[in-house]
Chain A
Amino acid sequence: MADPMRIRAQAAGDKATVRVLMAHEMETGQRKDAAGKIIPGWYIQEVSAQLNGKTVMTAQWGPAVAKNPFLQFAIKGAKAGDKVSVSWVDNKGEKRTDEATVS
């Protein structure tokens, strides 16, 4: 199982800014190892965010997103105490979901 994400959600006015740091290798599938063999790609393909269980954002990523990806977005109408959860699925089918409370 992959390491947990760090999620920080801060309410400001009528929206909450969410910052997520995921722990993932994000291997592109283009690099070669010392023996000249291509290292197979391993990267997050789908990311989704929920506010109190309702999906507010989905994203599809390619291998060009940097290692240990950072993502920032803003949810309208979120206030302190709301639950924000973020999930991802990578190209090997591994997945992870973590939750944070808006502060």
Chain B
Amino acid sequence: MQTRRDMLSHSAKLAAMLAAVGMLPTLASAQAAGYNAAAFDAKTIPDLMKALGGGAPVESKDVTVTGPDIAENGAVVPIGAATALPGVKRMLLLVEKNPSVLTAIFDVTDAVDSNFATRVKMGQSSDVYAVAMMNDGKVLFAKKEIKVTLGGCGG
């Protein structure tokens, strides 16, 4: 069992190392171990897939994304990702026009349904993606446009 102090000094060292090779943008404070910072920095969906090691995503009707058609307040937009397919490794929630596309990664185990709902911030009207990364390497997605009346970023 690592103590928190160990972990912090460890990740600080790691961050320094990464910064030295220029892989990490400046603001890497106390990154949690195992946190995929590169994925969360990705600005486009192809970049994101590269960071996560996934193939090109394919649209699928077996994946669903839920959310409102119009969100009045971009700071709180309820969205969900679900699929009934077996063999899901992780589910992602993406907002295409946010400064970083990736919002959340859910690592699925056998003990949970691949059905997650949360609330996200959206800077402007955009397509929202639910992506299912399968154990066999396939990447399936569903998308939905959500119009935002008042943006939730910046200000």
Main SS class of interface, A: strand
Q: Knowing that A64-B100, A64-B153, A73-B113 are A-B contacts, what are 14 other residue pairs whose CB atoms are under 8 Å apart, sorted by A's residue number?
A: A28-B153, A40-B27, A54-B111, A58-B107, A60-B105, A62-B102, A63-B100, A65-B120, A65-B121, A66-B75, A66-B77, A72-B117, A91-B30, A92-B30
List A contacts of B121 (CB < 8 A).
26, 28, 63-67
Q: Cβ of A45 and Cβ of B32 under 8 Å apart?
A: yes
How many interface residues does A have (CB within 8 Å)?
40
Judged by a CB distance under 8 angstroms, whether A29 is at the interface is yes
Residues on the B chain within 8 Å of A1, using CB: none
Residues of B within 8 A of A15 (CB): 113
Is there an interface contact between A93 and B155, defined as CB atoms closer than 8 Å? no
Q: Is the CB of B111 within 8 A of A56?
A: yes
Contact A93 B109 (CB under 8 A): no
